[in-house]
Amino acid sequence: MDAVTTLTLSEFKREGRKITALTAYDAPFARIMDRAGVDVILVGDSVGMTVLGRADTLSVTLDEMIHHARSVVSAVERALVVVDMPFMSFQVSVEKAVENAGRLIKETGAKAVKLEGDKGVEKTVRAIVEAGIPVMGHVGLRPQSIHKFGGFKVQGRESGSAKRIELDAKATENGGGFAVVIEAVPVSLAKQITESLNIPTIGIGAGMHCDGQILVMHDVLGISDNVRPRFAKRYASVADIAQKAFREYIEEVKGGKFPTMQHSYSKLKLIKKSRASTGI
């Protein structure tokens, strides 16, 4: 199959074909989902919570994003790899945002960056795009702004906040962004935004009317059991499978059942050194 590009996603929207996206943070899982046929792989700053065990995404650094994104890119052949710009990597100044976006692309091989932001982010998006880097926006619930929002809460339930989110999404489009993630907003609002934009919308907790959907890999696989968002659907229980395997391994080692000769080397192969090999 042909590699997915930003233009591919635009074609999908025009043709009414749904876009599929998942998060990944390492090469093994990125390879698996790429082979499964996912369109977009996001190296999200959610790595701070899903992999690094932190309470939120705010402490994730640019270097950490580069580390994980490089691993993901190394394993992907088809999907479009997008990498998150972490907190304070683009808010300080437009110049710094362009510089950091450039690092993410140059040092990882990813094809695009994603940044969260309200309508004020338009200038930053435009500058990054003009530098030759595709940008995906992120509106609605923005995890980097949880202290401002008072926690992980649904956004856009009142007319005033709904209108602001519409303007935020439009700012990404006006700045030249190629797509926008809409997180945790009412279905009707996501539908309205999707119909008003020429660029694709990718929903997470935003209902069925978005042009595509994204979920966190750990929610899909049932790896993280401490946080289960209402909008996430568990398609497997990998944590249960892994725990069962670990228990069997522990029992076999303690019971002397592993390793057996099947998992051991049976003969010591002696290699006679020649004078040439010994240097004599």
pLDDT digits (tens, 9 = 90+) for 183-239: 999 999 999 999 999 999 999 999 999 999 999 999 999 998 666 788 999 999 999
pLDDT of residue 275: 54
C-alpha dist (Å) from residue 109 to 97, 115, 133, 223: 18, 17, 12, 27
**Residue 274 pLDDT:** 56
- Give first-to-last CA distance, the chain, whole Å: 57
**Other beta carbons within 10 Å of 47:** 24
**pTM higher than the cut 0.85:** yes
Please state the φ and ψ torsions of residue 195, each to the nearest 5 degrees.
Answer: -75, -20
H/E run at residue 90: none
What pLDDT digit, counting tens, does each position of 135-147 carry?
A: 999 999 999 999 9
pLDDT the model gives residue 280: 44
Q: Which of 47, 52, 111 is nearest to 79 (CA)?
A: 111
- Alpha-carbon distance 228 to 239, whole Å? 14
Low-confidence ranges of the chain (pLDDT < 70): 225-227, 268-280
**C-beta separation of 184 from 198 below 8 A:** no
List own/partner pairs for 265-268 with CB under 8 A and 24 or more apart: none
The pLDDT, as a whole number, for residue 152 is: 86
> Active-site residues: which are they?
183
pLDDT of residue 47: 98
Least Cα distance to 136 among 37, 6, 2, 3 occurs for 6
Q: Give the tokens for residue 78.
A: 């088809």
